[in-house]
Amino acid sequence: MSNIKQQLYNICESFLNERANTLHEIIDGLQKSLQSETKSSAGDKHETGRVMLQLEREKAGNQFAAIQKQQELLVKTNINNSSTKIRLGSLVETSNGIYFLAISKGLVTLNNQPYFVIAPQSPIGKLLLGKQVDEEVVFNGKTIRIKSIS
């Protein structure tokens, strides 16, 4: 199981790094576009273009900040220590599938086995946190039993 946790952790890390790099490139491109915009005789049309570029840059900046928060959460994820209670870094086998508590990544398939990579602050993550083997949670009207935690 430890090997699976390491692989899932690495997938999360790569996912966040790729998103951060993409957003960084977008922000750089928008910044260059803003700098290359000069006053022209177009007037209001030109100003509207600048405002749109600034809004896009702000949106990308907010997305980049969210990625940085997820990266900080991932760094805090300890995959080496097992616990009898579900916590950040736990791999949890349930009657509904296998969950890895780290960041919000979604469904990941390793060796033909699906894993749900979820953040502890997600709705299902909040329900699972602190639970133990043989406990149950109800999510979307479905009872989910915890089979194992590693």
> Domain extents for the chain?
2-76, 91-149
**What percentage of residues in the chain have a pLDDT greater than 70?**
92
* 45 band by pLDDT with thresholds 50, 70 and 90: low
Rounded Cα gap, residues 106 and 36, in angstroms: 39
Average pLDDT (124-147) is 96
- In this predicted structure, the answer to whether residue 49 has a pLDDT above a threshold of 90 is no
- Give this prediction's pTM: 0.83
> Does residue 89 contact residue 77 with C-beta atoms inside 8 Å?
yes
Intra-chain end-to-end CA distance of the chain, in Å = 7
**Positive or negative torsion for Cα 144, 79, 126, 111:** negative
Find the Cα–Cα–Cα–Cα dihedral 83, 85, 91, 95, rounded to 10°. Answer: 140
